[in-house]
Structure 1
């Protein structure tokens, strides 16, 4: 596990998992939101975003946290591990509310900008599993040539996965 792509619904726990995996495995974490947006949440030009992502995936070791379907083939082709974080939509909505409460909106220390809109909440509650996740799986099937795809469907399952890795590496989480 040297090149890990983490994907999943909003509020699913992708960033929490990435932030725990990075130190555990000694791998730097990159957040797609930090590559995609400026400090004022303006979208960077597509060629800048693509170049930033290529720079990351050209490295020997990385964890990339994010969902962008447009650039997902780049990550999938370079990854040796894909982790799908996929708890039920209500858990994701709860995660979004907890994040909002914790950070009070704005940009988080990890580069994520907290923008909750009705469209985003609808995506989390209904569209992710119906439309986005099947496209993610199709992208994995087409481009991924790595070792393993891990599908985590609960926070407890994610914790067990991290515990297994901790025992394997001998490092604390």
Structure 2
């Protein structure tokens, strides 16, 4: 990972306020994307779109691919937004439209621990960032996906984020809770 992606500085500021208006938050399951998005939305006042809530229909039925792409293409037209969710097949839609991309790049053990805590906390309930009719559940395929996320996705993510940085986008990689707290505290100080 190059140093260019290790930024933990808060968002750029201008006389008009935050230059951050369109934020894509990506990372492994259990990285804390939804929690981070909520906190960032509270600080900035920007509307948060939890992609899991939009993708899943009651009974854990996924949105058809073309409909999913169309929905995201509509959302990115808004003046400002925060979208959390990885969804690798459509990630580029969000990155191209974003002015800021935040990559929560936590170690696998941290992500799996957070998934376990989430399952216990929301057992039989619907998480705040999840669609109605989709109570918390974890199966072997989901654990396997989370376990292999870095091995499968890391190189492609890093390459795409390097491209985004060269395109002038603010790219932030946060790998520890302390970095997350420092980043958010930096935004609150403005």
**1:77 equivalenced with 2:96 (yes/no):** yes
Deviations 1:58-88 (A, max 9, x none): 1110000011111111101100001011111
Q: Is the 8 A contact 1:81 1:146 kept in 2?
A: no
Partner of 1:131: 152
Matched residues in 1 for 2:83 and 2:100: separation?
11
* TM-score, scaled relative to structure 2: 0.81
Structure-2 change in CA distance of 1:159 and 1:143 (3 Å)? closer
Q: Is the 8 A contact 1:73 1:143 kept in 2?
A: no
Give SS of 2:72's match.
Answer: helix
Q: Is the 8 A contact 2:123 2:137 kept in 1?
A: no
Give SS of 2:61's match.
Answer: coil
Deviations 1:103-141 (A, max 9, x none): 11453121265331222222222x211111222223334
Larger Rg: 2
Matched residues in 2 for 1:146 and 1:153: separation?
22
Matched residues in 2 for 1:70 and 1:106: separation?
28
Partner of 1:68: 87
Partner of 2:26: 7
Supply the RMSD in Å over aligned alpha carbons.
1.7
Alignment of 1:43-122 (within 5 A): 43-111=62-130, 113=134, 114-122=136-144
Deviations 1:117-172 (A, max 9, x none): 222222222x211111222223334456343111000112101110111112xxxx
Q: Is the 8 A contact 2:164 2:171 kept in 1?
A: no
* TM-score, scaled relative to structure 1: 0.89
Q: Where does structure 2 lack aligned partners over 5 or more consecutive residues?
A: 1-19
Aligned residues: 167
Give SS of 2:62's match.
Answer: coil
Greater shift in the superposed pair: 149-158 or 97-106: 97-106
Q: Where does structure 1 lack aligned partners over 5 or more consecutive residues?
A: 169-173
